[in-house]
Structures are given as C-alpha cells and as structure tokens.
Amino acid sequence: MMMLRVLDVLISLLWLLTLIGTLVYFWLLRRRAGWLATLRQVFSWRSLVPVLILLALPVLRLSVVFIEPHELAVVISLFEPNGIRQQTLQSGFHWKWPLVEEVVRYPKYAQSYTMSGHAEEGARLGDDAILARTADGQVVILDITAIVRVDPQRLVLLHMYWQDRYIEDLLRPAIRAHSRTEVSKYTVDEVNSERREDVQRAIDAGVKQSCGGVGLHIEQVLVRNITFSDQYADSVEAKMMALQGVTQTRYEAQQIENLAEGEGERLRVIAEAEADAVLIRAEAEARARVIHAEAEAAALTAIGGALFGRGDLLTYRYIDKLSPNFKALLLPHDAPLILPRPTMDMRDDADPAPPPEQRTSLPSLDGIGAGPLPVDLDLAPGAPETRP
C-alpha cells in the first residue's frame, strides 16, 4: 500500500508539472504570435503530447500492482480460459492489464479462529462454544481455537471454491463436526482424563483432512477448555471429596503407625542403653574386685616377705591385737597353762577370780611355730615375775 501511495503522489506531480508547462508554453506563444497562432497551435499535433502524457499516467498507475510482504494474490482476467490466472502472485511488483484484470489479495500470515463460551473471546460475540455428547450420554462443552493459513500453491483453487468464505463456511463447520464426532467415541470420564490429548489429536487430524485439499493449511487445532454439566461436576466433586477423606484417613493411619514405630524404637534404644549401662557397671565392679584382690594379694605378699624369718614380730602383732579385756594367757610350748590374773596379781588378794564364762581363752601359738615368748604381765609393784 505504501508503494501505491508513492505512485499516486508521483502521478499527481507529473500531472501538475505537465499542466503548468502546457499553460506556460501557450502563454509565451500568445505574446509572441498572438491569439490566432495560439489557437492554431492548440489544435495541432504538438498539443497532443501533453494530453497523451496526462492520459498515460493513470493507465500506468492501473497497470502496476504491488503485493505486500504479508500478502498473496490471484488475478481475475478476461484473457484467461477459466477467467483466472493459474499462477499465484507473490510479494513484490507485478504488471496487469488495466481495466480487464483484477487482483484479489489474501493474507499470507497465520490466522486464528476461536469458538468459545465467553462472550467476547471468540470470533463471534456471545456463547459460541461447541456442545458435544459423549459415548455415555453426558454433555460436554468445548472451547476450540484453530490456527490456519492459506496454501500458496493452492490459492487459486481456494479462491475458485471458497473465496473469502473459507473461514466461516469451511473451517468452522469442519471443526464443529469433527469435535462432536470424536467426543462421541469416549466416555465422560475418559474425556476428563489423560485421554483428552487423544481427543485433541483426533480433531486436529480430521480438520486437516477436510480442509487441506482445497488450499487451506491447518497449523493446529487446540482444545482450550472442556466444561462438563452441573450434575457431572457435582458428582466429580463428591467423588474427589470422598477420595480426599480416604487419603486423609490413610495419612492419619500412617502417622499413627509412624508414631508407634518411633515409640517402639525409642523404647528399644532406652532398653539397649540400660542394658549397656548394667553391663558397664558389672564390668566396672568386676574390674574393681580384680584390682582389689590383686591389691590384697600384693599386700599379703609384701607382709609375707616382711614376716619371713621373724617369728617374734608375728608374735608381737598377735599380742598387740588381743583385746584389752583378757583375763588369762595361754603360754605355749609344751605345757600350756591358764593363768588367771588374780593369782598372778600378788598385791590384791581380795579380788575374786572371774567366773569361767568371763575368762578369755587365747589360741595356741603352736601352729604359728613361735618359740618361747617372754611375757611381761602388768603386775603390781613388788610382785615377782613369772616366766616359763
């Protein structure tokens, strides 16, 4: 269109320049030769040149055709047997016979056609969605968009059969018919599942087969939305609520099971810890006893080494450990005697002898292997010493 406007401006300028030049020429001629010569010159053959130029410019304008980059065109011609050129005009400059040929333009770009239930979303105002019935008798509502473009190789055929009616009279009925046919092959649950993609592919293939042979190329048919009846929607919602309840119950049961397993694991860990603690205490006590026994053995060994060959020291320790309340001494060797203390105490004859049960019997030292032991009893002053 821009090139046509440029041509229109150029032709207008040429018209203006030609007209101004012609007027200047005749005005100068009148001043030089007068009116009679000027009139003769007007009707001479030289005056036909600017007239022919003025007439040729519109004819040139009608003969030049510029096809935009986004357009294709066909030429209706009186000189063709079928009344139309068999070649499609591509983008650029072309020539045609003025007045006897006409150019019809078509868009080269892709076009989209939408049928939707929303009032202002589709190609038509109002509810233009497709109502289809499934194999089990349920009604579904489809929103569909088709993306199409004309085929340059078959544009002449498309113009001959459909002209500019190919959207409303070809594409639209094909989409609606194939949508209803394909939906009827599936149940409503299948349409509402992963089989929805199968429905879309089947509709796309059917529409391409119907429109592809006449010069309309189908890029893609998209099922944009599927709406179900209120009854089915309510049943699906109830089913989903029930399924959600079952899922919640399973989740709660799993949580309880997990808690029980966790509690059992906790108790097991506590029991193992307590058992390990008891084992550790027992091992510690056993080691303590072993160490104590080893210490006692070492002490006894040291004592035995110290007492070896010193019987008098052992006898001394024996006497040192005796109770201070003893009343008699058993003197060893071959004539052990029990000497009551009152008899040995010469200073106090009045003290009665202790009864037999209060006497202290000393163990014999024969088993120790000691010799005669000098015993210094605590006697009264002036009493004679008693020695074995």
Residue pair 168/134 in contact (Cβ under 8 Å)? The answer is no
User: Where is average pLDDT lowest: 56-60, 332-336, 354-358, 378-382?
Assistant: 378-382
Paired tokens of 180? 């209803």
What pLDDT, on the 0 to 100 scale, is given for residue 160?
A: 92
pLDDT for 290? 87
pLDDT at 376 over 60: no
DSSP label at residue 164:
G
Strand partners of residue 66: 93
Question: pLDDT tier at 344 (50, 70, 90 boundaries)?
Answer: very low
Task: Name, in order, each residue with C-beta under 8 angstroms of 176's C-beta and a sequence gap of 6 or more.
Answer: 115, 130
Q: How far apart are CA 36 and CA 124, in angstroms?
A: 71
Q: What are the distances in angstroms from CA 310 to CA 281, 284, 362, 371?
A: 43, 39, 21, 11
Identify the band that residue 247 occupies on the pLDDT scale cut at 50, 70 and 90: confident
For residue 105, count CB atoms less than 10 angstroms from its CB and return exposed for 0-12, middle for 13-18, buried for 19 or more.
middle
> What pLDDT score does 207 carry?
94
CB atoms within 10 A of CB 207: 25
What is residue 114's predicted lDDT score, i.e. its pLDDT?
A: 93
pLDDT digits (tens, 9 = 90+) for 266-294: 888 888 888 888 888 888 888 888 888 88
Pairwise CA distance, residues 31 & 12, whole Å: 29
pLDDT of 316-336, one tens digit each? Answer: 666 666 656 656 655 555 544
pLDDT in tens, 59-70: 877 888 889 889
Residue 82 banded pLDDT, cuts 50, 70, 90? confident
Q: Which amino acid is at 224?
A: R
Query: pLDDT tens for residues 201-236?
Result: 999 999 999 998 888 999 999 999 988 877 777 776
Instruction: Tell the residue number behind the tokens 């201070």, with chain if given.
Output: 324
pLDDT value, residue 375? 42
Distance CA 359, CA 353 (A): 9
User: What's the whole-model pTM score?
Assistant: 0.53
